Amino acid sequence: MKRWRATLLLVLAGFILGRWSLVLADGIEGGIRLSTGMAQALGLSSGPVLHAAAATGGVPRSDSVALRDAGSPDTKLSVQAVNEAAAELYLTNPFVSFGRVQPGDNDNYRELPRASQLVLRSNTPWKLYARVDDDLVAAEDLTRVIPVGQLEFRVADGKYVPFAKGKRFLVASGGPTGRAPVSVDVDLRLRITWEDPPGSYQVRITYELETEDR
């Protein structure tokens, strides 16, 4: 609001000083005598007469002082905007199930290709992490657990990596994505042994998108 008012005052001042070519004369008939307030505003005394040469066609005397148009005044407006770091992360399938599993002659693995399908966007470099905070717990009896280290993940046909309780694992990273989002698919597999008690187990995997400020 303060900037707008200052600009308006400059425009008004330019209109008063720039529209006419004015001369200051002593005693010219038909001239316009300035009031005390207007004379002080222009830096003049109230005694002399202000005459509009353009209106009367007269020629200023040699001892008169001319006020010429000094050009239109201008001012500059600074415009600022802060573009903050922004990111989006979506998990297209918030629930998956290994179904019924059982141990075999050797430790048995049950795989879930593309168990997690993530979509993300970022205007800065980014890193995607995965974390599991608990062991797998049986719904029937909370004392029955499968160690979280028997749950493993991989990305893009890489090697499976076992989770560790409370530890963050880097899943993927990249630069600014632009308008088009990036898709990240995570495979899961679970190892079942003869030591694992029967039950319906569950656990939560937390995915975190971390961006870098430039």
30-82 tens-digit pLDDT: 444 444 554 454 454 444 444 444 444 555 555 555 555 567 888 999 999 99
**Last residue of a domain, which of 19, 38, 67?**
67
**Same domain for 99 and 194:** yes
The boundaries of the domain holding residue 32 are 2-67
Nearest alpha-carbon partner for 6 in 73, 55, 69, 65: 73
Q: What total of structural domains would you count in the chain?
A: 2
Shared-domain flag, residues 92 and 62 = no
How would residue 191 be classed by pLDDT, with cut points 50, 70 and 90? Answer: very high
Predicted confidence at residue 26, as pLDDT, reads: 41
Across 164-176, b (16+ Cβ under 10 Å) vs e yields eeeeeeebbeeee
pTM of the model: 0.63
The arrangement of strands across the sheet holding 87-91 comes to: 87-91, 108-122, 182-192, 151-155, 161-162
Q: How far is CA 48 from CA 5, 25, 31, 42, 45, in A?
A: 33, 6, 10, 12, 7
Looking at the fold, whether 187 and 91 belong to one and the same domain comes out as yes
| pLDDT tens digits along 114-162 | 999 999 999 999 999 999 999 999 999 999 999 999 999 999 889 999 9
With contact defined as beta carbons under 8 Å apart, do 96 and 202 qualify? no
